[in-house]
Structure 1
Amino acid sequence: MERFIRSDQYHYIKNQARNLLNGHMTTNDAAVTQALKSLTNDRVLHLFSDLSPQQEQIIAQASDIKDETDAILYFSRLKQYVIPFPKVTESDIQRLFPKVKKLKIPSIPKDEWTELSYLGWNDPGASRKYMITTIDGKLIGLYGHYKPLQQKSICSICHEHEKVGMFTSTVRGLANEETVSRGNYICHDSKKCNENIQSRQHLVSFVKRMKNGQKGPSL
């Protein structure tokens, strides 16, 4: 069977299954656990508009989780059907950031590519953060000044309370000679941020907002 689950959907399903598992661990009321099972089933299936019977069966198994062993086995099976982030070469990355000199390119372990909604990395020496994601089937690159903060706050991408920094990008204004800086708090740890993403909506909105007015390259 072909892979049919996006990374954000995978993390959403894991979150719902974890909620169900917590319910099993905190109550012995059969009516409560049955209600949680039904709610979990409805929520995970609602993610998809067109599933084959076999695909629906795989997704629906989230509601069968009763203990930690069930969860581990299910997540392992589910991950086989997650669409990995598109493989990007060093040349691809350099084309996405043509104006950046001495670009440091990250090394991502093979097993982490299915966990990514975006590829992100920090360059502390240059006080920059880089991001690559897909929008409308195209790879989009974004980078900006990045200043880590000491306290936690809400990330604009994953909307979770994490260690963040101020990401600032400079784009063209209405006049060619005018520039506008836009800033938002985003996670310092891009891997953790990806694990938190349960919908691509905020990610796509963030990238479009940061690049508005900027004719950035795409692949």
Structure 2
Amino acid sequence: MHATFIGNHQFNAIKKQTDILLQALRTASDRNVLKAVRYSASLMIDELFPGLEDERKRQLSAMSEMDAAEQFQRYLDSLEPWREEFPAISNKQLQKLFPKAKKLNAPDVDAMDRRRMTYLGWTDIATGKMFLVYPVDGQLTGLEGRYTPVNKKGYCLICNGHEELALFTVKTRPANSPPDYYKAFGHYVCIDSDACNRRITDTAALEKFLHTIKRG
């Protein structure tokens, strides 16, 4: 079996480009405009996979030369075997990531399609908490924070989609600080983490948030 290499956010980025290109094919009358959109799609592949072998890169870049919706769908379907899975994690491992949560109401990860996950996120309405798990430097890292719905749409830190948001506030105690000193970091994120995972095309903002909290 061949090694997988397409992360969920990368697949979403590719799909977004196929949508942009298909829209251009349907609406653009200027050939130069269409040529520019095709070039942009090909450039995106290079940026997403800078170290990818040439053969794989050519296969992915073939999308920029397609002309019909059916071609794009077959192309996306052909990428499914190459999609990476979010790391497997048991309920016991989740509990270790969140030792302060006495009764962790975690989702059933085994029932999820881990190919469609950049991060694992869920909320516990009973406690008003939000939980987020993401691999940092090959190791799963967990964030636990206060979950406050804002009852309006805005831009999510993680996927940059204009969606229904909650304020996710995480408290942390910096190293060498007094026991009762804490810093709070808050950002607006999607209420629906599954939908957020379907939209995310770049992990930079999420990773910056995690590293900021880790540094305190």
TM over 0.5: yes
- TM-score norm. by structure 2 comes to 0.91
Q: Give the alignment of 1:1-219 within 5 angstroms.
A: 1-108=2-109, 112-173=113-174, 174-213=177-216
> Judging changes above 3 Å, is the alpha-carbon distance between structure 1 residues 94 and 76 closer, same or farther for their aligned structure 2 residues?
same
Q: Following the alignment from structure 1 to structure 2, what is the Cα–Cα distance between the partners of residues 193 and 212? A: 25
For residues 26-52 of structure 1, give each alpha carbon's deviation from its aligned partner in whole angstroms, at most 9, with x where no partner exists. 124433323321221122122222222
State the identity %: 30
Q: Following the alignment from structure 2 to structure 1, what is the Cα–Cα distance between the partners of residues 192 and 138? A: 25
Structure 2 partner of 1:217 = none
Structure 2 spans left out of the alignment, 5+ residues: none
> Judging changes above 3 Å, is the alpha-carbon distance between structure 1 residues 110 and 18 closer, same or farther for their aligned structure 2 residues?
farther
> Judging changes above 3 Å, is the alpha-carbon distance between structure 1 residues 19 and 188 closer, same or farther for their aligned structure 2 residues?
same
Partner letter of residue 140 of structure 1?
T
Q: Following the alignment from structure 2 to structure 1, what is the Cα–Cα distance between the partners of residues 110 and 24? A: 34
Q: Secondary structure at the match of 2:9?
A: helix
Q: Following the alignment from structure 1 to structure 2, what is the Cα–Cα distance between the partners of residues 179 and 52? A: 46
Structure 1 spans left out of the alignment, 5+ residues: 214-219
> Judging changes above 3 Å, is the alpha-carbon distance between structure 1 residues 36 and 111 closer, same or farther for their aligned structure 2 residues?
farther
Partner letter of residue 26 of structure 1?
T
Q: Following the alignment from structure 1 to structure 2, what is the Cα–Cα distance between the partners of residues 177 and 192? A: 37
Q: Following the alignment from structure 1 to structure 2, what is the Cα–Cα distance between the partners of residues 138 and 107? A: 20
Alpha-carbon deviation of 1:110?
5.4
Deviates further, 147-156 or 203-212: 203-212
Q: Following the alignment from structure 1 to structure 2, what is the Cα–Cα distance between the partners of residues 107 and 68? A: 35
- Maintained 8 Å contact 2:90/2:109: no
For residues 100-138 of structure 1, give each alpha carbon's deviation from its aligned partner in whole angstroms, at most 9, with x where no partner exists. 111111124756311211100111111111110011111
Q: Following the alignment from structure 2 to structure 1, what is the Cα–Cα distance between the partners of residues 49 and 26? A: 28
- TM-score norm. by structure 1 comes to 0.90
Q: Following the alignment from structure 2 to structure 1, what is the Cα–Cα distance between the partners of residues 37 and 19? A: 11
Q: Secondary structure at the match of 1:95?
A: helix
Runs of 4+ in 1 over 3 A off after TM superposition: 28-31, 108-111, 210-213
The size of the alignment, in residue pairs, is 213
